[in-house]
A = this chain, B = another copy of it.
Amino acid sequence: MGKIIALLTDFGLKDGYIAVMKGVIKSIAPNTDIIDITHDISPQNIDEAAYVLWTSYKYFPKSTIFVTVVDPGVGSNRKILMVKTKNYIFLAPDNGILKYIFAYQEVLKIYNLENKEYFLKNISNTFHGRDIFSPVAAYISKGIPLKNFGTETTPLTRPEYFLSLASVKNKSINGKILYIDRFGNIITNILIENNKYIDDIQYIEIGKTHVNHFYKYYSEARNSKIFGLVGSSNLLELAMRNQNAAKIYKVKIGTKIKVVLR
Write the residues of chain A forming the contact surface with B, with a CB cutoff of 8 angstroms. Answer: 1, 4, 6, 8, 11-17, 19-20, 22-24, 26-27, 30-31, 33, 35-41, 43-44, 52-53, 55-56, 59-61, 64, 72-76, 124-127, 130, 179, 181-183, 216-220, 229-232, 242
Contacts and interface: CB of A to CB of B under 8 A. Distances in A.
Looking at chain A's contact residues, the main secondary structure is loop
A10 to B, nearest CB: 8
B15 A52 contact: yes
A220 B59 contact: no
Given A217-B75, A217-B76, A232-B130, A30 B16 contact: no
A27 B60 contact: yes
A203 to B, nearest CB: 21
Nearest to A75: B217
A61 B27 contact: yes
A37 B124 CA distance: 20
Contacts of A216: 75, 125
A27 B23 CA distance: 23
B44 A16 contact: no
Contacts of A127: 232
Contact of A217 (B1, B41, B125): B125
A14 B22 CA distance: 19
Contacts of A13: 13, 36, 38-40
24 contacts: A6-B19, A13-B38, A14-B38, A14-B40, A14-B182, A16-B38, A16-B53, A16-B55, A19-B35, A20-B56, A23-B35, A23-B60, A24-B59, A26-B33, A26-B61, A27-B60, A44-B242, A72-B219, A74-B219, A75-B218, A125-B216, A125-B230, A127-B232, A130-B232
A232 B74 CA distance: 12
A218 B19 contact: no
